[in-house]
Amino acid sequence: MADAKPPRHPQRAQGREVALLALCHLESYRPEERARALELFWAHVPAEAGDGGQELRGWVADPKVVEFARRLLAVNSERATEIDAAIEATSRSWRLARMDRVDRNVLRLVGAESLGLSETPRVVIVSEAVRLAARYGSERSAPFVNGVAQALAGKLRGEVREAREDG
């Protein structure tokens, strides 16, 4: 990914990344503990290997990054059942419980952004999902997320496409 262009809207890209890390963090808690766990996440931003967390702390210091991450997390929380059902229906051969944690949460962000942030073009949502999957997932994450995200974003936006069965 060394040749990849920097995102046109870095604060939104960083917000997606922060939201992904928060979603992965929240999975370690029971549902009734997640509100408090999210407070802890914002108060004690996790460190990423290599830089001691400086990059991530810098992003969280930017109000626009945090606002965008919080918007994504709010839509995901409010519409979690709908988003998870759409992911499972789109990825017919993979149940959420069988998906890698990163892949599952990247797809949840695709669902949240597709449903709750209509200003984001679908191509951007999918491209950002693939970027996050490549950065944080396994070597198979980016192709899997690409196939499911394309169909999922189209389905949730009312743009009917056939779901691909990657995986």
CA distance 153 to 155: 5
Q: Which two tokens stand for residue 123?
A: 């191509």
Each residue's pLDDT tens digit, 120-146 = 999 999 999 999 999 999 999 999 999
pLDDT attached to residue 61: 85
| The Cα angle at residue 11 between residues 105 and 71, in degrees rounded to 5 | 50
Q: pLDDT tier at 57 (50, 70, 90 boundaries)?
A: confident
pLDDT attached to residue 127: 97
CA distance 134 to 48: 16
Q: pLDDT tier at 1 (50, 70, 90 boundaries)?
A: very low
Q: pLDDT tier at 158 (50, 70, 90 boundaries)?
A: confident
Which residue ranges form the domains of the chain, and what is each CATH number?
10-156 (1.10.940.10)
Each residue's pLDDT tens digit, 67-120 = 999 999 999 999 999 999 999 999 978 899 899 999 999 999 999 999 999 899
CA distance 26 to 51: 23
pLDDT attached to residue 2: 45
Q: Is residue 134 a contact partner of residue 142, using CB atoms and an 8 Å limit?
A: yes
Q: Which amino acid is at 34?
A: R
Q: How many CB atoms lie within 10 A of CB 61?
A: 10
